[in-house]
Amino acid sequence: MLNKQPSNPSMTTPETILVEDSADSVACDGGNGPLGHPIVYYSFDGKSVVECGYCDRVFVKAKTV
Ligand SMILES: [Zn+2]
């Protein structure tokens, strides 16, 4: 049985961005298009995943995947 998410064409699926395992921070500007936002930096701070509060992109350290 699948738990189907209601589809909403106005919402964009958040992207998952792989980053190098050695990185301790990432920069996100949302890329081009409607999700663009001022550049922000996030520190992994010991975690292997950070999520951008602006555009919901998820940054995952490559080794984690
Ligand atoms: Zn972002």
User: What does the domain layout of the chain look like in residue ranges?
Assistant: 16-64
CATH superfamily of 16-64: q5lls5 like domains (2.60.260.40)
Q: Reduce the DSSP state of residue 50 to 3 states and report it.
A: strand
Residue-wise pLDDT for 3-45, tens only, equals 665 555 555 677 899 999 999 999 999 987 776 899 999 999 9
Supply the pTM of this predicted model.
0.71
Whether the CB-CB separation of 17 and 62 falls below 8 Å is answered with no
Dist. CA 62 → ligand 1 center (Å) = 18
Dist. CA 3 → ligand 1 center (Å) = 27
Dist. CA 54 → ligand 1 center (Å) = 5
* Alpha-carbon distances, residue 47 vs 3, 7, 51 (angstroms): 28, 31, 11
Dist. CA 1 → ligand 1 center (Å) = 33
